[in-house]
Structure 1
Amino acid sequence: MAEQKSTAGQRLTQIKDFLTMNKTATTIPWDPNSTKFPMRKELPKIPGAPDDAAWVWGNDDNIGRLNLLTPSRVAAAAKEIRTGEIVPVNLPLNVPNQPAFGREIFKHEIKVLAENLAYDDIYHLNTQSGTQWDGFRHFAHMATGNFYNGAKGSDIVGPSANEKCSIHHWADHGIAGRAVLLDYRAYARSKGITYDPFDHHAITYAQLAACGKEQGIDIRPAAQGGDIHIGDILLIRSGWKEAYDSKTPEERSKAALRTHEPGNDGQRWTGVAQEEEILDWLHDSYFAAVGGDAPAFEAWPTEKPWHVHEYVLALWGMPLGEMLDLERLAEKCRERGRWTFFFTSAPANVPGGVSSHVNGTAIF
């Protein structure tokens, strides 16, 4: 009976697609070129996967939502390039000088090859300090220990380690497309909402929707009548870099060195709220990637028994960027009166790698 209902449902979808000129993703693996994808509440149950998992691009998939960056979508996004102005979004590698969450301090050495004639660099760094992509090996679904597409810790380290969900797969595919900036910091200031990005402050979906409206953007997905396109890259400015620049070195270090351990997490940062509305929006918009300027993208620590990281990375396979420098970008968007632009990123091509600096550029 269930198979009959499923077959009937697929036939009905085919008829609707014929009438509307859509191409709905129904059969796993989904076709990235589809024009319509299931909402979160419509996700199929995948055998062996946690609830809410969208492991829909094939058993051997390693790039998740980057599949949505098809040649046709990238070509369409290139139309965002009108003036040719370039805005990099990368912090210097030594910012912050003291990284949060107990991560290692960046060290730079000059190696003399021949005095006054030739030199090399030597970098010692943690790819999770500064402007960073959280790769799919970075954060698991806590309840099941699954990383994206069923990867396990044993795939990452140990005698059975392999390249499943390694960051180099992103480098092989490439990241380029249309991006959308929501300048929540400016919106909050205009509405008298005061907060310190170096403290816990949860940004709700309702606030982001109001922020978008102020910018002239309906942040709902196009399938719901909004302005978000399939494969868009979402960036949210919370003002973390602005706050960082306003603090003394001592204040920065004190914040970064706050306790970080399970059950006693003193790290406190602004970010998106842990709420169902945020999850539905992030999923249903079919962003290719999401990112922000704060150390955790989501408000930290979570006040729920789950993290947004679990959904974005482990369940949906969506690249998650943190600590992008969005100050100049916000200025340029405001100057130009537009909040969409072409965006490109070059992740590190490191087989077996967990994460990468973003190496990102916005082009107007």
Structure 2
Amino acid sequence: MSLADRTPPTHEEYESYRERFSNWGRWGDDDRLGTLNHITPEVRRHALTLPREGRSISLSLVISTDPRSSMVSGFEQEMRVGPSSSGDRISINFHGWTVTHLDALCHIFAAPENALYNGRPTSDVTIEGAGSGSVEPYHDGIVTRGVLYDVPRHRGTDFVTIDAPVHGWELADIAAAQGVEPMPGDAVIVRSGANAFYASRPEFEMGMFNEMPGVHATAIEFLYDHDAALLVWDLLDAGQQDLGYGLPRPDGDAVKVPIHEIVIPYMGMPLLDNANLDDLADACAESGRYEFLLMVAPLRVRGGTGSPVNPIAVI
């Protein structure tokens, strides 16, 4: 399988991704940034030259007490209102399908090796926090070129359906159609039309044990070959589906989150899940420009497995 022949991988080929697309040792045995190493000072300086209008756009969903799926955020907001001031205390379980968040490299383990990214032992992660692979090393922020891959607009549809996931070769086609050349250090931003999909299916339950629309594992090769730094997406892994769409294992089970399982622990790529990309898509279509400055500032949580974020695109 390769992007050139436009063929999804077999199970055996998918399993080979663990070695084929591994970055273990690429930036040294003590590396904690993974693919964010592709964001060099030169990449940041170039990104800062991209805004033309000076308009900033949030890529975050609203956090509220009204979760849209069974994978609830557990968001709680305790208000304190006094005679002359107010405050609140919030609690949130941000991993899942309802909150815009960043996955750190300790979030998914390398299963056969029982290891974290770069071969660190999973014992580094305890109830006290993650000693390796946490979100804390990203405290200086992620500042780079963002490139929007607007799949529904390219297809002429409202959203990506379960039976037609986004393949890596389609991302290459979209880049060519948009006149954008992928560059090292890019944030690859894949819009699948999540808001329209969920609006059309109000009873749809998201989760790794259900068939999910989204991005196919063939996108992993695209990310690796172009030295992408970050994947930002509104619909996540296309998982739990039949051969050709999902990736069943020999025992008949399916790979539940096929992109998460490779890019986090092996490639060392953080994932920015559940982005809200509709406003950005409209702005890019209006201007005809699909590259822009992207800024992401995760919370500086020592030992954290990730962070809720409000990514900002500046066009």
Q: TM-score range by the shorter chain?
A: 0.7 to 0.9
User: Which residue of structure 1 lines up, in the alignment, with residue 231 of structure 2?
Assistant: 290
The answer to whether the 8 A contact 2:152-2:193 is kept is yes
1:212 aligns with 2:175: yes
Aligned mate of 1:166, from 114, 131, 134:
134
Secondary structure of 1:120 counterpart = strand
Which amino acid in structure 2 is aligned with residue 300 of structure 1?
G
TM-superposed deviation, 1:210: 2.7
User: Which residue of structure 2 lines up, in the alignment, with residue 189 of structure 1?
Assistant: 156
Which amino acid in structure 2 is aligned with residue 73 of structure 1?
V
The answer to whether the 8 A contact 1:200-1:269 is kept is no
Whole-Å Cα distance in 2 between the matches of residues 94 and 331 of structure 1? 24
Q: Could you report, residue by residue, the CA deviation over 1:139-189 in whole angstroms, capped at 9, with x for unpaired residues?
A: 122222222112333111158x65211111112x32001010000011222
Which of structures 1 and 2 has the bigger CA Rg? 1
State the number of aligned residues.
282
Secondary structure of 2:110 counterpart = coil
User: Which residue of structure 2 lines up, in the alignment, with residue 271 of structure 1?
Assistant: 214
TM-superposed deviation, 1:103: 4.1
TM-superposed deviation, 1:104: 3.8
Whole-Å Cα distance in 1 between the matches of residues 49 and 260 of structure 2? 31
Matches within 5 A, 1:237-276: 237-248=191-202, 251=203, 254-256=204-206, 265=209, 267-275=210-218
User: What 5-or-longer segments of structure 1 have no aligned partner?
Assistant: 1-49, 218-226
The answer to whether the 8 A contact 2:175-2:182 is kept is no
Aligned mate of 1:339, from 290, 295, 300:
290
Aligned mate of 1:155, from 115, 124, 134:
124
The answer to whether the 8 A contact 1:200-1:268 is kept is no
Structure 1 residues 95, 148: CA separation in 2 closer, same or farther (over 3 Å shift)? farther
User: Which residue of structure 2 lines up, in the alignment, with residue 352 of structure 1?
Assistant: 303
Secondary structure of 2:149 counterpart = strand
Whole-Å Cα distance in 2 between the matches of residues 268 and 232 of structure 1? 29
More helix by share: 1
Structure 1 residues 124, 175: CA separation in 2 closer, same or farther (over 3 Å shift)? same
1:137 aligns with 2:100: no
Structure 1 residues 162, 125: CA separation in 2 closer, same or farther (over 3 Å shift)? closer
1:303 aligns with 2:259: no
Which amino acid in structure 1 is aligned with residue 31 of structure 2?
D
The answer to whether the 8 A contact 2:151-2:160 is kept is no
Whole-Å Cα distance in 2 between the matches of residues 325 and 127 of structure 1? 15
Identity within the alignment, %: 27
The answer to whether the 8 A contact 1:274-1:304 is kept is no
Whole-Å Cα distance in 2 between the matches of residues 280 and 185 of structure 1? 21
Whole-Å Cα distance in 2 between the matches of residues 164 and 350 of structure 1? 13
Secondary structure of 1:207 counterpart = helix
Secondary structure of 2:86 counterpart = strand
TM-superposed deviation, 1:241: 1.4
Structure 2 length-normalised TM: 0.82
TM-superposed deviation, 1:303: 2.2
